[in-house]
Amino acid sequence: MKLSLRMETVKNTVVPCKTLCDVGCDHGFVSIALVEDGTAKKVIACDINKGPLAAASDNIKAAGLSDSIETRLSDGLHKVTKEDRPDAIVIAGMGGALTVKILTEGREVLKTVSQLVLQPQSELFLVRKWLRNEGYNISKECFLYDMGKPYFVIDARPGEPTPHTDEENAFFDEFSEYLLKDKNPLYREYLKKGIENNETYLKGMPAEKRGELIKKTELMRKALLMTE
Ligand SMILES: C[S@@+](CC[C@H](N)C(=O)[O-])C[C@H]1O[C@@H](n2cnc3c(N)ncnc32)[C@H](O)[C@@H]1O
């Protein structure tokens, strides 16, 4: 089983743990890889849909890991209990708003969790904001391209986030404090390309509609400067 670079990055971000919940496990490839390489002793592979869960179950059986990976039909963390005592959670490949909904509704279960590995496909700012407000630190963030598409993988741990003004918080929620301070070269190129694209759009836009995009592009320029 060959994982995509995105899934491989998600897997490699997880630190050794006893019980991991893979929420929205789909095919179960990440769950399987995490047990196979010894990172997770046990995995609860959850999905809201029966089809993906059946596929995960077949893949888990084929890998001979039915004793270590349990599949569970669950909307988010609803069917995971405090008694399961997960110490790590993976939520990958879902939108930022859905990721936040799953975390919010699963708050009780998160009490035993020491690592959240999150790979939202959109609205990253919602996830970073939730983490900051709920007392999590982003200890690492990876930025990568897989098949030409950009992805962010967040490693969050319980802890007090660095204090900032509201304005700074909003800026870092949008542009990632970790990636900017890390001066990530790939992320720098991503920002540069985004600015160039916006400049092209702006040229073709009626003047009265440009305000929002001009503001956003100025913030992107500020972010780009921080990566120098
Ligand atoms: C795009 S796939 C991502 C699969 C895998 N996590 C990955 O990163 O490759 C999203 C999966 O999440 C499941 N899903 C969507 N909403 C969910 C929810 N509220 N709770 C659990 N699973 C959900 C879908 O059924 C689907 O299998």
Check: CB of residue 196 under 8 Å from CB of residue 224.
no
Give percent above pLDDT 70 in the chain.
100
Kind and range of the H or E element at 65? none
CATH of 5-161, one of 3.40.50.150, 3.40.50.2300, 3.30.930.10, 3.30.450.40: 3.40.50.150
In this prediction, residue 36 carries a pLDDT of 97
Of the candidates 205, 202, 184, the residue with the CA atom closest to the CA atom of residue 194: 202
Task: Report d(CA 33, CA 3) in Å as an integer.
Answer: 8
Mean per-residue pLDDT, 118-140:
97
Structure tokens, 134: 């709920």
pLDDT above 90 for 227: yes
- Does the CB atom of residue 44 touch ligand 1 within 6 A? no
Report whether residue 49 contacts ligand 1, using a CB cutoff of 6 Å.
Answer: yes
Question: What's the pTM?
Answer: 0.97
Dist. CA 227 → ligand 1 center (Å): 33
Separation CA 103–CA 13 (nearest Å): 18
Q: Using N-to-C axis directions, what is the helix angle for 29-36 and 50-62, rounded to 10°?
A: 30
Given a cut of 80, whether residue 1 has pLDDT beyond it is no
Give CATH 3.40.50.150 domain extents, the chain: 5-161
Q: How far apart are CA 41 and CA 197, in angstroms?
A: 45
Task: Identify which of 5, 31, 94, 117 to mutate to test ligand 1's pocket (most ligand atoms within 8 A of the CB).
Answer: 94
Does ligand 1 lie within 6 Å of residue 106's CB atom?
no
